[in-house]
Amino acid sequence: MEIKIENSWKEALEKEFSMPYFPILKQKILAEKAKGKRIFPPGNLIFNAFNLTPLPSVKVVILGQDPYHGFGQAHGLCFSVPAGVAPPPSLKNIFNELRNDLGLPVPLHGNLENWAKQGVLLLNASLTVNEAEANSHAAFGWQIFTDTVIKCISEKNSGVVFLLWGKFAAQKETLIDKQKHHVLKAGHPSPLSVTLFRGCKHFSKTNELLQQQGKSTIDWKL
């Protein structure tokens, strides 16, 4: 797994790539491949979220748990799928909340790259997964890396809006300096907990918080 990552992130995370756990993480992924496992997303998209959203441009962070594990779904952005791939249930519920919150039409595709390019870091806690095996890489060491990413954003940026959906994401609140940043929490948009997500109005609230700081708001329309 060759590390190809946008320069601002490469500079900020350079020490992390040389930490003892990182080569072990790489070895674990290669071992899965050696067993014949198919790994998602493809290698060139593992750091897609970072490449589309440089560190200085991060205004919003949405945190997912791990990539989609169905063929063709994962492309390195949490909750997002490439155009032409049917939006999974959680993403459909996100779109329903967008419609209810902002009156936006439900998109015809599930590709969230437009959000990423506006400063929304779509970060999964684990950046890889085996096909058809949810959370299969959760213990590989990715969370050491992505926890560092969250702490890095908290330290280097200001006024970032962190959207933490579900119990897993909410645990990451301790990594964030709430004197400098904003944390919005709700249930996970999964069908299992959507009643705790529905009505959160996080999209309009995010734009209100950005506007109060004189930052450009996010155009959530896809």
Amino acid 1: pLDDT: 53
The stretch 30-34 carries a mean pLDDT of 97
Tokens found for residue 72: 């063709």
Amino acid 106: pLDDT: 95
Which percentage of the chain shows pLDDT scores above 70? 99
Band (pLDDT 50/70/90 cuts) for residue 54 is: very high
Q: Taking a C-beta distance cutoff of 8 angstroms, is the pair 120, 53 a contact?
A: yes
Band (pLDDT 50/70/90 cuts) for residue 178 is: very high
Tokens found for residue 127: 């950046």
The stretch 137-143 carries a mean pLDDT of 98
The stretch 46-71 carries a mean pLDDT of 98
Whether the ω angle into residue 41 lies within 30 degrees of 0, i.e. cis, is: yes
Of 102, 120, 84, 115, whose CA–CA distance to 200 is shortest? 102
Which percentage of the chain shows pLDDT scores above 90? 98
Band (pLDDT 50/70/90 cuts) for residue 87 is: very high
Amino acid 3: pLDDT: 82
Give CA separation, 45 vs 86, 96, 173, in Å: 19, 27, 26
Mind telling me the catalytic residues?
66
The stretch 172-188 carries a mean pLDDT of 98
Amino acid 2: pLDDT: 61
Q: Taking a C-beta distance cutoff of 8 angstroms, is the pair 198, 99 a contact?
A: no
The stretch 103-122 carries a mean pLDDT of 97
Q: Taking a C-beta distance cutoff of 8 angstroms, is the pair 171, 80 a contact?
A: no
Could you give the 3-state DSSP secondary structure of residue 204?
helix
